[in-house]
Structure 1
Amino acid sequence: MSPALRLLDPYSGEAIPGLPRFCLERWQSLHETRARVLLSESGVEPLTLHELRERYGLDLGLDGVELGYGWTQGSPELREAVAGLYEGAGPENVLATCGSAEANLLAVAALVKPGDTVVVDMPNYMQVWGLLRLRGARVLEAWRSPANGWKLPVDRLVHLIEEHRPSAVFITNPNNPTGSAAYERELGELAEAAARRGTILVFDEVYRGLEHGTGRRVPSIVEVAGLSQAVATSGLSKVYGLPGLRVGWLVADQKTIERAWSVKDYTTIAIPVLSDHIASRVLGSPEVRAALEERARRIVAANLEALRGMLEEQGHQGLLEPYWPSAGAYLLARVPWARGTMELAERLFEAYGILVNPGECFMLPGTLRIGLGADPARFPKAARELLEALQSLQRETAPS
């Protein structure tokens, strides 16, 4: 077996019969706790409870919280705060989940039956793609293209909806790993086609609020298509810098919420009561919420500028071919000189202690996804170490 195939082995095949191994999460789990330089995260620098209190003036009031099970669908306060993020939604349209990952799982379980035809936006975070296979769905892939900046392929999606009448279309907007975002016009075209064919649009919107430099906010699909035609998932991990709370949510019509809640009885039952309490305080304060979104945009803007400057320096040209993102906290880049980016990422980790994500985990061999959410005080040093390591590895691969 070649070295490249040996490297792929822990990340390919099946976790259990019918469920593909989750390459990205397995890659992260096997490496991130030992990484010296961590550039694999897709969210911004996590906050501390001290920062929430002192910098953002949030009275957490934790001493009086009873450490019971809490509300299985999320507390009334949390569901009301989440509903306030979506025009036309009420608390009855919200189910609180353990991160957006559980929200995605519950959406698949509640909306897709074995044998259903579904469409998946590609490339993508591969959780839903794998869960649909476990569910026994017929999966049609709608691939974005780098030729047009990885934009949402609306024409292709409309064609698939018209021809195959899928029960659901699963999209990540803003997209992970490309950082491309779709706005009202594209979403409106998609919503019209879905309404004609009775297709549900399921959008993972966990990076919504981390748009770059345009002043425009990505609209939620439930606001464009309506709650009867669309489902949104999101959470506090990526934009808000609170991944340790493990708080996410599902927004949908009441019938879908009830079905997903019934499935949740088999998964996590309830989110942690402390997490529910803190999330309610964060999302219930428009000022704090806006400040955290602004913090995320400021972090990524500073790191993008730093990386762009480094790539323009003498000796770094041609090292990476970046696809500059319009949203999110990561950069997808092609490595034109590398034979395999899984092997390259493994060499970066083993020889230099630097962790980035190989494109093979997104079905994009020949690319790397680089995190842009680290503290801007530390990011330039980490990025420079990455580029210097890549430069050394490039020299090793050059013909003698």
Structure 2
Amino acid sequence: MHGALQVAVSSGLYFGEAVAGLPRFCLERWQSLHETRARLLLSESGVEPLPLRALEEEYGLDLGLGDTVLGYGWTQGSPELREAIAGLYGGAGPGNVLATCGSAEANLLAVLALVRPGDTVVVDMPSYMQVWGLLQLRGARVIEAWRSPGEGWRLPVDRLVGLVEEHRPRAVFVTNPNNPTGSAAYERELEELAGAARRAGSVLVFDEVYRGLEHATGRRVPSIVEVAGLDAAVAVGGLSKVYGLPGLRVGWLVAGEETVERAWSVKDYTTIAVSVLSDRIASRVLGSPDVRAALEERARRIVRANLEALRRLLAEPGHRGLLEPYWPAAGAYLLAGVPWTRDTMGLAERLFQRRGVLVNPGECFMLPGTLRIGLGADPSRFPGMAAELLEALSSERDGRGGVG
């Protein structure tokens, strides 16, 4: 094992417990320790962030920030923001929406509001791992439902239905579109799962933060609250990944009013309220269908261009065999197998230390032998970044190493 990595792992920076019962969040700690020092950032799962002026100059929004009073604002999100978010979901109203500080807080609130210690839950795997970790802390009995690369990482509906029928879990947690695989599930699969959950009395909790970034076909994934109903499902979303606005830290939870009320009561203990500046900007963005659609198309355009560039590079004779890509249907990332090593965390650390190139090791998704590569960078820069990554991988495979 590479020296720097060995020190990191042995000191518990990526694995082990953060506090009693709560596993360390490998992916977020990996990012935190590296991303601010990376020369080539290929670890992000969203598209290139926008400068604030672009919303006004390129997308024609009047943000009106100068008149904003810098008070606490609405703890559940302003009426304007909640109405705009509700408009994204058929049948939802402002009372079905709780605005949160990023989708990460929405996931936290969903777990704490719905799951009690000892409850049985089913979790879609692989996943972003936040919910998985929170469920460990909550003391839930976690049943993992693993997707298979041999099945294209598709949502394992038959397996999930069988687990729901056998265990009648309190909740089923799914990421759709999936992170890190980029697979997307549509009406047929979701309706089948919703039917089983309804019969068992299980709540479906879907992290849908990549909804709108279905770049393979452009066909939008339906929200689980539209398929299963607001009283039987919870949808989580946010502005960070598809819309290129992670700095706003605005996310949301959409569910039946009783669930929203419970989550809001938990939020009194966490962040209290979204920043009033973020609330104002998010209200303007989400309240304008034209702007929202333009930002979603921008995201799809970026990822399509970068995927095509990566396909061309991987087809070059010198790059064949470096990676085994699982071509995604959605999201701004690509999961790739590394056929010549299982220690992809050690590999990722060497790429960073020697070349300043940052990608995510599969170990952070319980998938050793893989890397997750971000596809959201500016398409004018991405081909050069990807070429450097492949050259660095080639050097590592051939034992040449090197220092950038």
The TM-score with structure 1 as length reference comes to: 0.98
Residue in 1 that maps onto 2:79: 76
Residue in 1 that maps onto 2:346: 343
Task: Say yes or no: does 1:148 pair with 2:155.
Answer: no
Equivalent of 1:59 in 58, 62, 66: 62
Instruction: Tell me the distance in 2 between the aligned counterparts of 1:148 and 1:339.
Output: 21
Percent identity for Structure 1 against Structure 2: 79
Tell me the SS of whatever aligns to 1:396: coil
Instruction: Tell me the distance in 2 between the aligned counterparts of 1:171 and 1:339.
Output: 27
Residue in 2 that maps onto 1:134: 137
Tell me the SS of whatever aligns to 1:393: helix
CA displacement, residues 289-331 of structure 1 (integer Å, 9 cap, x when unaligned): 0000000000000000000000000110000000000000000
Residue in 1 that maps onto 2:49: 46
Deviation at 1:338, TM superposition (A): 1.5
Tell me the amino acid that sits aligned with residue 93 of structure 2.
G
Deviation at 1:215, TM superposition (A): 3.0
Mapped contact 1:204–1:234 kept (Cα < 8 A): yes
Residue in 2 that maps onto 1:200: 203
Deviation at 1:213, TM superposition (A): 3.0
Equivalent of 2:237 in 210, 227, 234: 234
Tell me the SS of whatever aligns to 2:373: strand
Deviation at 1:339, TM superposition (A): 3.6
Mapped contact 2:216–2:328 kept (Cα < 8 A): no
Instruction: Tell me the distance in 1 between the aligned counterparts of 2:273 and 2:256.
Output: 20
Instruction: Tell me the distance in 1 between the aligned counterparts of 2:95 and 2:296.
Output: 26
Within 5 Å, give how 1:1-400 maps onto structure 2. Answer: 5-8=6-9, 9-396=12-399
Instruction: Tell me the distance in 2 between the aligned counterparts of 1:7 and 1:306.
Output: 34
Instruction: Tell me the distance in 2 between the aligned counterparts of 1:111 and 1:42.
Output: 27
Instruction: Tell me the distance in 2 between the aligned counterparts of 1:394 and 1:271.
Output: 46
Mapped contact 1:38–1:354 kept (Cα < 8 A): yes
Instruction: Tell me the distance in 2 between the aligned counterparts of 1:157 and 1:248.
Output: 27
Instruction: Tell me the distance in 1 between the aligned counterparts of 2:92 and 2:296.
Output: 21
CA displacement, residues 35-62 of structure 1 (integer Å, 9 cap, x when unaligned): 0000000000000111111110111111
Instruction: Tell me the distance in 1 between the aligned counterparts of 2:160 and 2:204.
Output: 11
Instruction: Tell me the distance in 2 between the aligned counterparts of 1:76 and 1:215.
Output: 31
Mapped contact 1:235–1:248 kept (Cα < 8 A): yes
Mapped contact 2:2–2:350 kept (Cα < 8 A): no
Tell me the amino acid that sits aligned with residue 373 of structure 1.
G
Deviation at 1:257, TM superposition (A): 0.4
Mapped contact 2:105–2:251 kept (Cα < 8 A): yes
Instruction: Tell me the distance in 2 between the aligned counterparts of 1:81 and 1:286.
Output: 9
Q: CA RMSD in A?
A: 1.2
Instruction: Tell me the distance in 2 between the aligned counterparts of 1:228 and 1:199.
Output: 11
CA displacement, residues 97-117 of structure 1 (integer Å, 9 cap, x when unaligned): 000000000000000000000
Tell me the amino acid that sits aligned with residue 390 of structure 2.
L
Tell me the SS of whatever aligns to 2:172: strand
The TM-score with structure 2 as length reference comes to: 0.97
Mapped contact 2:338–2:369 kept (Cα < 8 A): yes
Tell me the SS of whatever aligns to 2:318: coil
Instruction: Tell me the distance in 2 between the aligned counterparts of 1:43 and 1:364.
Output: 21
Instruction: Tell me the distance in 1 between the aligned counterparts of 2:228 and 2:210.
Output: 19
Mapped contact 1:41–1:373 kept (Cα < 8 A): yes
CA displacement, residues 118-150 of structure 1 (integer Å, 9 cap, x when unaligned): 000000001000000100100000000000100
Deviation at 1:173, TM superposition (A): 0.1
Mapped contact 1:42–1:373 kept (Cα < 8 A): yes
Mapped contact 1:7–1:342 kept (Cα < 8 A): no
Tell me the SS of whatever aligns to 2:396: helix
Mapped contact 2:146–2:156 kept (Cα < 8 A): yes
Instruction: Tell me the distance in 2 between the aligned counterparts of 1:272 and 1:111.
Output: 26
Number of matched pairs:
398
Tell me the amino acid that sits aligned with residue 133 of structure 2.
G
Deviation at 1:6, TM superposition (A): 4.0
Instruction: Tell me the distance in 2 between the aligned counterparts of 1:195 and 1:273.
Output: 38
Instruction: Tell me the distance in 1 between the aligned counterparts of 2:129 and 2:395.
Output: 31
